[in-house]
Amino acid sequence: MDWSHYRFLSIWKVPAPPAAVFAVLEDPEGYPSWWPQVRDVARVDECSGTVRFRSFLPYDLVVGVHEGRGDRDAGFLEVRMTGDLEGWVRWTLRPHGAGTVVRYEQEVEVNKPLLRRLAVPGRPFFLANHALMMRAGRRGLAARATMLRAAGGAV
């Protein structure tokens, strides 16, 4: 087993339609306003940028994000990551009643030297740290998408 390799899956129910959820997800500069652990986003060019994350544990992760595949009509958005994490993140949206089921998938290799050295003893803590981040992301996305929907699409 590669202790620095992670694969995550989260399923969220968001009380807003897929179009409103997609609008929030496709705006990377807006993430810090609704996802507390996304500390900074800086656009490098039209298709890439850098993101700094920090959850409960006292370390930052800085990644380059690069636009991957995306299709608003299909409810699909993917980005590649480089830097402290190497891999990808994928969002898939499906209508569910008046809301949306959001599927978040992530597969990464941790490159940050300290986290690689602590890979075995730290893994349970890293997993818990990620779970806390995802819980906050779900709440923030639901609130932001609902606000966007209520405002008629402009937040």
CATH of the domain at 120: 3.30.530.20
**C-alpha triplet 57, 61, 64: angle, nearest 5°:** 160
Is residue 109 one of the residues assigned to a domain? yes
Contact 12, 94 (CB under 8 A): no
pTM: 0.91
Is residue 124 one of the residues assigned to a domain? yes
Cβ burial of 96 (10 Å; 0-12, 13-18, 19+) is middle
- Decide: helix, strand or coil at residue 48: strand
Is residue 73 one of the residues assigned to a domain? yes
Closest alpha carbon to 79 in 115, 43, 40: 43
Report the mean per-residue pLDDT for the chain: 94
Is residue 155 one of the residues assigned to a domain? no
Q: What percent of the chain has pLDDT over 70?
A: 97
Is residue 91 one of the residues assigned to a domain? yes
pLDDT digits (tens, 9 = 90+) for 100-110: 999 999 999 99
Any idea how long the chain is? 155
Token digits of residue 77: 């958005």
What phi and psi, each to the nearest 5 degrees, are found at residue 47? Answer: -120, 5
As a whole number of angstroms, the distance between CA 8 and CA 142 comes to: 20
Is residue 82 one of the residues assigned to a domain? yes
Contact 85, 108 (CB under 8 A): yes
Give the count of alpha carbons within 13 A of 154, CB side only: 0
Is residue 138 one of the residues assigned to a domain? yes
Number of domains in the chain: 1
What phi and psi, each to the nearest 5 degrees, are found at residue 98? Answer: -85, 0
Give the range of the structural domain holding residue 117, as residue numbers without chain letter. Answer: 5-150
pLDDT digits (tens, 9 = 90+) for 30-78: 999 999 999 999 999 999 999 999 999 999 999 999 999 999 999 999 9
Position 110, amino acid: V
